[in-house]
Amino acid sequence: MNAKMEAARKAVEYVEDGMVLGLGSGSTINILLEKLGDRVQEGLNIKGVSSSVKTEKLARGHGIEVTDFSQVSRLDLAIDGADEVDPNFQLLKGGGGSLLREKIVDVAADQFIVVADESKQVEQLGAFPLPVEVVPFGWEQTQARIEAFGCEAVLRDSGGKPFVTDNGLYILDCHFGKIDRPEWLHNQLKSLVGVVETGLFLDMTDLVIVGRDDGADVLD
């Protein structure tokens, strides 16, 4: 947990007064929200667009003003976590189930910073099952089409029922083992009827903050 704390602490240094932020999701972001809340108490003036219902609740709880895309058209900075980060800053995300809103928020920002503990650094994406957000209707059909790309696509479960995202959609966790061509795979999956978004976040990241137990490294 300390590594996540160190990454979050470093990321807060990039937040400036007056910024409109994109707020990611996950346990590292939860720590970031706490730290941002402390700075808001000290007088920092920021607003955030949230990438999940949970983040929104937490942000408000920490005194951070939450806005949305009906009020702002561009974000100064988005900060988000990741499940895997490769040496080219390509990301695999969605372990927490918020990938679609996260991607909408993260691409709307002028700068995108990833916060991750060092366990998230990988040479190649794909050991972590790739989350793919799909329409519930006919998900079995979508599953079969995805599996034709050489993975097992497992419907995410929550207490014996399908896990439902903030968008009312399902998630298929796709066990590829390794992903040799992330861009090709993302494009192929996106072209399937029933697929709404994949957890491959490609060519988006400006900076990666890697937390360790005793500090954080900034990679750019």
| Residue ranges at the known binding site | 25-28, 80-83, 93-96, 120
Name the amino acid, one letter, at 46.
I
State yes or no: residue 28 binds ligand 5RP (CB under 6 A).
yes
And the tokens for 82?
Answer: 């990741």
Listing DSSP states for the chain in one string gives: -HHHHHHHHHHHTT--TT-EEEE--SHHHHHHHHHHHHHHHTT---EEEESSHHHHHHHHHTT-EEE-TTT-S-EEEEEE--SEE-TT--EE--TTS-HHHHHHHHHTEEEEEEEEEGGGB-SSTTSSPEEEEE-STTHHHHHHHHHTTT-EEEEPEETTEE---TTS-EEEEEE-S--S-HHHHHHHHHTSTTEEEESEE-S--SEEEEEETTEEEEE-
Which residue number, 81 or 129, has a Cβ lying nearer to ligand 5RP? 81
State yes or no: residue 82 binds ligand 5RP (CB under 6 A).
yes
Q: Which residue is nearest to ligand 5RP (CB)?
A: 26
50, 55, 90, 98: which one contacts ligand 5RP (CB under 6 A)? Answer: 98
Which residue number, 86 or 102, has a Cβ lying nearer to ligand 5RP? 102
Q: Is residue 102 among the annotated active site residues?
A: yes
20, 36, 99, 195: which one contacts ligand 5RP (CB under 6 A)? Answer: 99
24, 48, 129, 194: which one contacts ligand 5RP (CB under 6 A)? Answer: 24
6, 56, 76, 83: which one contacts ligand 5RP (CB under 6 A)? Answer: 83
Residue count at the site for ligand 5RP (CB under 6 A)?
17
Q: Are strands 130-134 and 195-198 parallel, antiparallel or unpaired?
A: antiparallel
Q: Which of 6, 102, 133, 197 is catalytic?
A: 102
Annotated binding site for substrate: 25-28, 80-83, 93-96, 120
Q: Are strands 200-201 and 91-92 parallel, antiparallel or unpaired?
A: antiparallel
Smallest distance from ligand 5RP to CB 145, Å: 23
Crossing angle of helices 53-61/27-41, nearest 10°? 30
Which residue number, 85 or 153, has a Cβ lying nearer to ligand 5RP? 85
26, 48, 126, 129: which one contacts ligand 5RP (CB under 6 A)? Answer: 26
State yes or no: residue 129 binds ligand 5RP (CB under 6 A).
no
Give the binding site for ligand 5RP (CB under 6 A): 24-28, 80-83, 93-99, 102
Annotated active-site positions, please?
102
